């Protein structure tokens, strides 16, 4: 279900960004609206990450996934390449699940 939602949101975002200028006839939207639109994509992505990390069904949980996201976040803040941060986060999740 989450991957379907990600795909729908991605297609919707691209569609809206392509159709918007066509419908408006090349007229630029107000700067305040542009700022809001620019913030929507990271906000939706953050919401999906939080829901995927801290929920199982309708319950809130803190498990190995939270440790992986934490490690990934720290590594990205330290400017480690994305691929290495993802591999390290996956390793932490696997290690925590193996120990727990």
Residues 8-19 have a mean pLDDT of: 79
User: Within 13 Å and on the Cβ side, how many CA atoms surround 65?
Assistant: 11
Residue 56 Cα to chain centre, angstroms: 17
pLDDT single digits (tens) 33-63: 778 878 888 888 888 888 888 888 888 888 8
pLDDT single digits (tens) 74-86: 999 999 999 999 9
Q: What percent of the chain has pLDDT over 90?
A: 36
Higher pLDDT residue, 62 or 26?
A: 62
What six digits make up the tokens of 55?
Answer: 């929920």
Helices 31-54 & 2-24 angle (0-180, nearest 10): 170
In the numeric block, the tokens 């994305």 are attached to: 82
Q: Check pLDDT > 70 for residue 1.
A: no
Residue 60 three-state SS: strand
């Amino acid at each position: 279900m989450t991957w379907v939602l990600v795909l729908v949101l991605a297609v919707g975002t691209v569609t809206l960004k392509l159709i918007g200028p066509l419908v408006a006839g090349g007229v630029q939207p107000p700067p305040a609206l542009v700022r809001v639109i620019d913030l929507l994509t990271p906000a939706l992505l953050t919401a999906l990450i939080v829901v995927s990390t801290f929920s199982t069904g309708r319950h809130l949980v803190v498990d190995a996934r939270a440790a992986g996201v934490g490690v990934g976040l720290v590594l990205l803040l330290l400017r480690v390449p994305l691929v290495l941060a993802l591999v390290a986060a996956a390793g932490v999740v696997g290690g925590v699940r193996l120990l727990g």
